[in-house]
A and B are shown apart, each in its own frame.
Chain A
Amino acid sequence: MAKLDFPVGPQHPALKEPENLRFSVDGELVVDADIRIGYVHRSIERSCSERNFVQDLYLCERVCGICSNAHTQNYCQAVEAIAGVEIPERAQWIRMIMHEFERIHSHLLWLGVAGHEIGFESLFMYVWRDREVIQDILEMVSGNRGHYAMTMLGGVRYDIAPEMVTKIREGLAFLRQRAEYYADIATSEQTFLERTSGVGVVSGETCVQLGAVGPVLRASGVAFDVRRTFPYLQYDKVEFPVRTSELCDVLGRTLVRVQEVIDACDICTQCLDMMPEGDVNMRFPRKVPEGEAVARIEAQRGEVIYYVRSNGTDVPERVKIRTPTLANLPASLEMVKGGYIADIPIAFASIDPCFSCADRMVELNDVSSGDSRTMTWAELVKLSRRKS
């Protein structure tokens, strides 16, 4: 049978975010795949150089709605490293707790979406119902269900009050028990197994070669977790296993994420036990001394990297962001190759993609002539005002 090439997107029903996928299929089998991103470029890095360090905190928070806390933490870590500031110890523990809360909510969100992608709607509903527990905890601690504005330069905005600790412990115990139940479902429920086992396979070696990160890398048998390899905050003081799976498929990625929810509950409990009393923030200089720093953290989707350069003023000269989706995209193309067309949505969803986060640059090319064009800041502002 002759091969057929077809495009999917930028607007399509599988994901809410726009991206253009091109598949080459032979009957029901995908032979080749390619991707074009750049449809939701928001100029965040450039905008960071137009605002002061405090304002950039909230801009970086909006790189991703799901990993918002991971982005502010990473940004703060980079800026604090340039300023040579060590934040109070209690603030470090609270940052860790928020980091793990976010991992729980994100992995549960993903599990629900995975259920939806494979047509297991009841799994989606049950998981999202349970996820409300962690959402309520996040709201209680930070005041918001998303974009928590909890991390700030020099520490965290709010302390965890003693009366909150009991509620948090109860919530974590419930979520841990539910995550164990979902791990059981994932390994024993026939519907789930048939739609995930052996689907979206990519080897550990390929993952390493293509620079995959996070649960995608770990589910292909590579034990790499920034929290363990390059510990930050107080991660060297808590005990947790680096979860891996040798399955290399969607099932493996599911198991790694569900087990990480269980571990995140345990890490939070350890943090609550070990957290000392004290201040949760400190005065941070408005003008950051000249210098540059790179910070990396293990967000729920994988490693996030921030590079910040300061020229001694209160406005950064450069902020560069590398999000995990960008690192995982080449591996995701390998996952769909050789698989069925029907497995494309779940194979892509298994990297937990966030295309808005991944769009870091756009090149304007005239398709007919191949000429590229540069737009000035003023032109971009004018264009955005006209479009909004």
Chain B
Amino acid sequence: MARKFSIAAMAMELMESLLVRKPATVMYPIERLAPPDRFRGRMRYDPDSCTLCGLCQRDCPADVIKVVRKRVEREDGKKETVGHVEFEMDRCVFCGQCAYSCNSGSITFTKDFELAQPQRQLFMMKGEAEEVDDDACDADTEVVP
């Protein structure tokens, strides 16, 4: 059953590996492989389009997202809802469910994969959203009166 090796075949293989084949690995960080289009890297949050509906918070499996809404009185006496969304990105598992649940397209993912930070606080991300449609809001979100 022993496998038969031919010296000539082995020499050919060696020459090929030395002269023709590229190494299987790359010299990171000098050389970087491009992530594919669907890659979920650094998260980008767009407060302008966010309606503070809270769907992302409801479905996030890692408790990353906290949607905070406030009722404030404008100068003309009318009340409006403002608020912000906080992201504790050190907990994020990059599943992409928040982007999938968001109906406003406010959450997207970039191809940036170098996300290490020296301190946990640097992972905190906050985006203020102004004047949102009350009807679009989910009942589960935290409301600060």
List residues of chain A with CB under 8 Å of any chain B CB: 51-52, 54-59, 61-62, 129, 132, 139-144, 147, 149, 152, 157-158, 185, 187-190, 193
Contacts and interface: CB of A to CB of B under 8 A. Distances in A.
Contacts of B39: 139, 143-144
Contacts, number: 59
B59 A54 contact: yes
Given A54-B101, A62-B93, A140-B38, 9 more contacts: A52-B58, A55-B97, A140-B36, A149-B95, A149-B96, A157-B96, A188-B3, A190-B1, A193-B1
A143 B100 CA distance: 14
A142 B38 contact: yes
B116 interface: no
17 contacts: A54-B97, A55-B61, A56-B61, A57-B61, A132-B24, A139-B35, A140-B36, A142-B38, A143-B40, A144-B39, A144-B40, A149-B95, A157-B96, A187-B1, A188-B3, A190-B2, A193-B1
A52 B140 CA distance: 13
A4 B38 CA distance: 56
A189 B95 CA distance: 43
Nearest to A51: B61
Contacts of B123: none
B60 interface: yes
B87 to A, nearest CB: 16
B86 to A, nearest CB: 18
A157 B90 CA distance: 24
B123 to A, nearest CB: 16
Interface in B14-73: 24, 35-36, 38-40, 58-62
A149 B99 CA distance: 12
Contacts of A61: 95
A149 B36 CA distance: 15
Nearest to A144: B40
The DSSP consensus for interface residues of chain A is: helix
A158 B61 contact: no
Contacts of A132: 24
Contact of A58 (B38, B58, B93, B101): B93
A132 B22 CA distance: 14
A144 B96 CA distance: 11
A58 B3 contact: no
Contacts of B101: 54
Given A187-B1, A189-B3, A190-B2, A144 B61 contact: no
Contacts of B1: 187-188, 190, 193
A144 B59 contact: no
B65 to A, nearest CB: 12
B100 A157 contact: yes
A54 B58 CA distance: 9
B24 A143 contact: no
Given A149-B96, A149-B97, A143 B61 contact: no
A71 to B, nearest CB: 13
Nearest to A197: B1
A6 B62 CA distance: 41
Contacts of B59: 52, 54-55
Given A52-B58, A58-B61, A140-B38, A190 B93 contact: no
Nearest to B93: A58
Nearest to A54: B59
A59 B61 contact: yes
A234 to B, nearest CB: 24
Contact of A139 (B36, B58, B60, B93): B36
A187 B38 CA distance: 40
A87 to B, nearest CB: 16
A384 to B, nearest CB: 13
A140 B39 CA distance: 8
A158 B95 contact: no
Contacts of B94: 144
A139 B111 CA distance: 12
Contacts of A51: 61
A5 B103 CA distance: 62
Interface string B78-105: 0000000000000001111100110000
Contacts of B60: 55
A231 B38 CA distance: 31
A316 to B, nearest CB: 14
Contacts of B38: 140-143, 158
A193 B59 CA distance: 51
A285 B33 CA distance: 39
Contacts of B61: 51, 54-59
Contacts of B100: 152, 157
Contact of B3 (A62, A141, A190): A190
